[in-house]
Amino acid sequence: MSGMPTVVHVTRRRLLHGLGLLGLAGAVGPLLGAPRPAAAQGNLANLFPEEPVDATLRRLFGGRPIKDGSSVMKLELPLIAENGAVVPMSVEVTPPTQGYVKSIYIVSDRNRRPMNVKFNFSPDASLPFVGTNLRLNETGDVRAIAELSDGTLLMAKRQVKVTVGGCGG
Amino acid sequence: MAEIGRVRIRIPSSIKAGDIVKVRVLVIHPMEIVERKDGKPVDKNYRFINRVIVTYLGKEIVQFETTQSLSENPFFSFAFKATEPGPLKVTFLDTHGGKYEGTADIKFS
């Protein structure tokens, strides 16, 4: 009888010790191994995939029809961009009579990652006008797609001739 | 490079209540693009701005989701309706956890 508790005691201690080590290993492992997940947003896995433009449109909008919006959208781009690294672009959408313009997507057909930028607007305070500088890889269409608050999609596109690509090798 | 994150905001010199104000913002940032080695993209944490948030009177008015296909030292222009005098704040967030801010005071004259 007197021997039994000792045996149990030892086993339990060993067990606890083992568990503790396991726990420690579990806690330290992620700290040392994988890079900090919160900060590493620029890794390839987190970028938009390299894909043809059709796949991008399908991924963004599913099968929803995209109407021609050239009458209400003013897309300004140079006809010829000598330097593809800096291509000034601006787009202005005439506000719809009902609802508002929720967002504007800029998609360039011939870039490796066609999805360029998405502008989100608020219902009342902002106006559907934006401008920025794009990087274009080679000559091709640039599309601006406006999504209205009721889900309608409108598109305007323009071809830009690029003399020197802006996306590096 | 020491200048990374410097933000410049340009607003019209005179604004009246109810005006549509066009703003231009510029930030100094490298906007790194994907490097390739033997035709394969190199996997690393590229440093580029992926979000821009603009608030006016403490309320978010526009928000941009950006990628590397914007040029280095990107500029943005946008428009909003000036209803009251107050601060216009532009915040840039990059993939390395950087946060760069600029503010402009909207005053009526």
Give tens-digit pLDDT for A37-96: 445 678 888 888 888 899 999 999 988 999 999 999 999 999 999 899 999 999 999 988
Chain B interface, best mutation among A36, A47, A107, A118, by max B CB count within 10 A: A47
Choosing among 3.30.450.20, 2.60.40.10, 2.30.30.100, 3.90.25.10, the CATH entry for B7-34+46-106 is: 2.60.40.10
**B34 touches A at CB < 8 Å:** yes
Nearest chain B alpha carbon to A43: B45
Q: How far is residue B53 from each of residues A35, A46, B14, B76, B92, measured CA to CA in Å? A: 27, 20, 24, 11, 7
**B60 touches A at CB < 8 Å:** yes
Q: How far is residue B82 from each of residues A100, A122, A124, B101, measured CA to CA in Å? A: 18, 14, 11, 20
Nearest chain B alpha carbon to A108: B69
Domain ranges of chain B: 7-34+46-106
**A108 touches B at CB < 8 Å:** yes
Give tens-digit pLDDT for A108-151: 998 989 999 999 998 877 789 999 999 999 999 999 999 999 99
What letter does residue A5 receive in the DSSP assignment? Answer: H
ipTM at complex level: 0.89
Interface contacts (A, B; CB < 8 Å): 132
- Does this model's pTM top 0.90? My answer is no
Three-state DSSP state, B65: strand
Structure tokens at A84: 């593809």
Residue A45 half-sphere exposure, CB side, CA atoms within 13 Å? 2
Question: Cβ contacts (< 8 Å) between B61 and chain A: which residues?
Answer: 121-122, 125-126
CB-based contact A56:A145 (threshold 8 Å): no
Residue A155 CA to residue B46 CA, distance in Å, equals 31
**B8 touches A at CB < 8 Å:** no
Q: Which helix (H) or strand (E) holds A162?
A: strand A153-164
